[in-house]
């Protein structure tokens, strides 16, 4: 997609749709010249349609040759507290509307919002996120937005380039998660990591079953034992010159989760290709780091497995030994993601990181608590948690902290082994995080449970930049955090 930003006036922009964010407190504020150019049609349309500028509401009218733009679209923002988030959301709604009317050239003008580089970047980011479609396996493809231009803004080149990197990284993660599970399996993710390494100049190491056995990574091996697809631990290492700090990102990469012998229902299994969304986010982040010139060493660790029901599948009652020597009693084979991450987190300790962040579609309990509108965050270091929450706010990705009391840790201690992988229904998100905490070591750590926000069965009620299907949640939060920490 072509992306441009310029300081030329809206009246000179030739496009299919010229979209403008407007506040509910003054829908036509700053649009007097535009209304005059349209012979008063804009004001008349606002009145006839009773358009009040409510968030995500769209007013569409043709210009009939009075402007170089074929259509003008007003997108409501309500009464926003954060102008950058408001215009990001409005631009995404504009992009979705442009695609619905088969427009290919989208123009964006801030209107009454500040014409700053930050606003221009947010509009580009929103337009790119809102125009995403997964069409790889479609034989007939609908027209898509091919060009986006923001007008009326100066000096936004660097900010817009950064926004494009963030959006394209999110697209990359979405494509991985939306991919069918007969294609996106553990060896496939390993090959994707190798391609990232070649393209971005990163060091990539892939450990298959023989290496995992020698390492003592019995947790990953146990979860993957029921599948013909060999489990993989994937390590991607970004090392800039003279790195300031070292950070580890760990991602759950269960490319399909049938639940193992504690098998899921049909409804519960239907979207389980998305159980590798944490891994997709980690790989997408590593891919984008060189373009953002992040000054820290970042090591991405992905545990990639399928959790199926083959004759060698692990069983309730089994005891497995993790990479760091701790033992785990398997009390539920459908609580497998934390078992995989135990080995990933233990492996990450060898880098002596300044902080560790893991992402996982870990628990249904996080969905019960927060619905599909926020991810849960828990950790052992309040400053780290706070910085990630702030980065999420700037990215428009909500993170809500849940408590990690010592009682949750005690609830995960095993009777037969050091730990058990399931501690009962209540407080499930906290208990899952408490289990992971045992394998982190002394390092600052935060856990993002993205189960409710990584994949959406329906788009209704969601922000326009979040499509049905994979959302790529966490990519932009992590990249903002790494670029600014």
Sign of the dihedral through C-alpha 7, 9, 14, 19 = positive
> Across-strand partners of 307?
257
Report field, pTM of the whole predicted structure over 0.85: yes
> What HEC string does the chain produce?
CEEEECCCCHHHCCCCEEEEEECCCCCCCCCHHHHHHCCCHHHHHHHHCCCCCCCCCEEEEECCCCCCCCEEEEEECCCCCCHHHHHHHHHHHHHHHHHHCCCCEEEECCCCCCCCHHHHHHHHHHHHHHCCCCCCCCCCCCCCCCEEEECCCCCCHHHHHHHHHHHHHHHHHHHHHHCCCCCCCHHHHHHHHHHHHHHHCCEEEEECHHHHHHHCCHHHHHHHCCCCCCCEEEEEEECCCCCCCEEEEEEEEEEEECCCCCCCCHHHHCCHHHHHHHHHHHHHHHHHHHHHCCCCEEEEEEEEEEECCCCCCCCCCCEEECCCCCEEECCCCCCCHHHHHHHHHHHHHHHCCCEEEEEECCCHHHHHHHCCCCEEEEECCHHHHHHHHHHHHHHCCCEEECCCCHHHHHHCECCCCCEECCCCCCCHHHHHHHHHHCCCCCCCEEEEECCCCCEECCCCCCCCCCCCEECCCCHHHHHHHHHHC
Q: What pLDDT, on the 0 to 100 scale, is given for residue 140? A: 84
Total residue length of the chain: 485
User: How far is residue 205's CA from residue 190's CA, in Å, rounded to a whole number?
Assistant: 9
| Distance in angstroms (rounded) separating the CA atoms of residues 350 and 352 | 5
How far is 360 from 459, CA to CA, in rounded Å? 21
Q: How far apart are CA 431 and CA 478, in angstroms?
A: 24
Q: Report residue 443: phi and psi, to 5°.
A: -85, 150
Say what the pLDDT of residue 461 is. Answer: 76
CATH number at 2-155: 3.40.220.10
Q: Do residues 428 and 332 lie in contact, with contact meaning Cβ atoms separated by under 8 Å?
A: no
pLDDT at 476: 98
Give the residue numbers marked as catalytic: 264, 338
Query: Pick from 363, 380, 391: which is nearest to 454 by CA?
Result: 363
Predicted local distance difference test score (pLDDT) of residue 356: 98
User: For 166-484, CATH number?
Assistant: 3.40.630.10
pLDDT-flagged residues of the chain (< 70): none
Are the C-beta atoms of residues 87 and 22 closer than 8 Å to each other? no
**Tens digit of each residue's pLDDT (9 = 90 or more) over 199-216:** 999 999 999 999 999 999
Q: One fold for both 2-155 and 166-484?
A: no
d(C-alpha 126, C-alpha 119), whole Å: 10
Question: What are the structural domain ranges in the chain?
Answer: 2-155, 166-484
Mean pLDDT (the chain, rounded) = 96
pLDDT tens digits, 108-158:
999 999 999 999 999 999 999 999 999 999 988 888 899 999 999 999 999
What distances in angstroms separate CA 210 from CA 203, 207, 213, 217, 218, one per listed residue? 21, 8, 5, 10, 11
| Rg from Cα positions in the chain | 24
């Amino acid at each position: 997609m072509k992306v441009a930003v310029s300081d030329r006036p809206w009246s000179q922009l030739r496009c299919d749709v010229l979209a403008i964010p407007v506040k509910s407190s003054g829908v036509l504020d700053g649009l007097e010249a535009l209304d005059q150019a349209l012979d008063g049609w804009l004001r008349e349309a606002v009145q006839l349609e009773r358009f009040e500028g409510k968030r995500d509401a769209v007013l569409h009218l043709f210009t009939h040759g009075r402007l170089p733009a074929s259509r003008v679209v007003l997108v409501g923002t309500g009464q926003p507290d954060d102008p950058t988030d408001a215009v990001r959301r409005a631009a995404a709604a504009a992009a979705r509307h442009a695609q619905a009317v088969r427009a290919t050239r989208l123009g964006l003008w801030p209107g009454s919002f500040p014409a700053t580089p930050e606003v221009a970047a947010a509009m580009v980011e929103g337009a790119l996120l809102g125009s995403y479609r997964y069409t790889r396996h479609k034989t007939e493809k609908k027209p898509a937005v091919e060009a986006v231009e923001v007008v009326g803004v100066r000096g936004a080149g660097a900010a817009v380039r950064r926004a494009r990197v963030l959006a394209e990284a999110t697209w990359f993660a979405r494509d991985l998660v939306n991919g069918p599970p007969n294609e996106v399996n553990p060896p496939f993710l390993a090959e994707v990591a190798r391609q990232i390494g070649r393209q971005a100049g990163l060091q990539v190491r892939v450990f298959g079953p023989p290496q995992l056995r020698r390492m003592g990574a019995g947790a990953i091996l146990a979860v993957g034992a029921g599948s013909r697809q060999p489990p993989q631990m994937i390590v991607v290492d970004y090392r800039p010159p003279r790195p300031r700090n070292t950070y580890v990102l760990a991602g759950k990469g269960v490319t399909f989760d049938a639940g193992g012998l504690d098998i899921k229902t049909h409804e519960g299994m239907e979207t389980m290709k998305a159980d590798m969304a944490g891994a997709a986010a980690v790989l997408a982040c590593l891919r984008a780091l060189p373009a953002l010139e992040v000054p820290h060493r970042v090591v991405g660790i992905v545990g990639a497995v399928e959790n199926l029901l083959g004759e060698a599948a692990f069983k309730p009652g089994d005891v497995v030994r993790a990479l760091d020597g701790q033992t785990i009693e398997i009390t539920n084979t459908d609580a497998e993601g934390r078992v995989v991450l135990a080995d990933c987190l233990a492996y990450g300790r060898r880098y002596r990181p300044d902080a560790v962040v893991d992402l996982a579609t870990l628990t249904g309990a996080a969905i019960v608590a927060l619905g599909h509108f926020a991810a849960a965050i828990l950790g052992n270091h309040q400053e780290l948690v706070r910085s990630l929450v702030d980065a999420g706010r700037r990215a428009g990705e909500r993170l809500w902290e849940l408590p990690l009391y010592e009682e949750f840790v005690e609830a995960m201690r095993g009777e037969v082994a050091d730990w058990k992988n399931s501690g009962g229904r209540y407080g499930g998100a906290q208990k899952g995080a408490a289990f992971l905490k045992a394998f982190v070591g002394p390092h600052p750590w935060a856990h993002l449970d993205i189960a409710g926000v990584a994949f959406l069965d329906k788009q209704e009620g969601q922000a326009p930049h979040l499509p049905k299907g994979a959302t790529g949640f966490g990519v932009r939060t992590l990249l903002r955090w790494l670029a600014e920490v």
